[in-house]
Amino acid sequence: MSISMFQASVPVLVRGLTNLQAIIGKAQAHAAEKQIDPSVFAGARLFPDMLPLARQIHIATDTAKGCAARLADVEAPKFDDVEFSFDDLHTRIQKTIDYLNTFKPEQIDGSETRTITLKMRSGPVEFTGQSYLLAFVLPNFYFHITTAYDILRHNGVDLGKLDYLGAR
């Protein structure tokens, strides 16, 4: 039995973002309970040369919406990266989930060999649809979700592995 490009992308990205929503919710509750200014979390980093929590979420959502759009060969919506409060981050994640849920399998299935070109600082990089999804998008997406989780865990939010994995 094979897995389709749609099955390997959209539902996987939606699940990761849904889990991220729950993690952000726990952080918001933690901040309220401990009377911590929530803006402390948005700017928190694991190390000074790493991006803060809000940017991790911006990149995870950009990666997800860009993936579906590129695989379907449509233009992705642009987000301004101005979300820093928990409520704004929740809204951004939900907008991304809602966007992903507009895609149908027939828009993405068959994109395995489609040429995907990314404009990188070092110049354009070309992928096939399959290598873009498996070797670039999914590792990048999980890196930023994991880093967001780690930033919050490092800052005392009571998170565990099941928060990251989500409900079955």
Per-residue pLDDT at 168 exceeds 80 = no
pLDDT at 1: 60
- Crossing angle between the packed helical segments 53-72 and 138-154, to the nearest 10 degrees: 160
pLDDT tens column, 83-136 = 999 999 999 999 999 999 999 999 999 999 999 999 999 999 999 999 999 999
| Cα 97 from Cα 129, distance rounded (Å) | 21
| Cα 57 from Cα 84, distance rounded (Å) | 10
The reported pTM is 0.96
Average pLDDT of the chain to the nearest whole number:
96
Domains and CATH numbers, the chain: 5-165 (1.20.120.450)
pLDDT tens column, 60-91 = 999 999 999 999 999 999 999 999 999 999 99
Q: 123-128 and 115-120 as β-strands: parallel, antiparallel, unpaired?
A: antiparallel
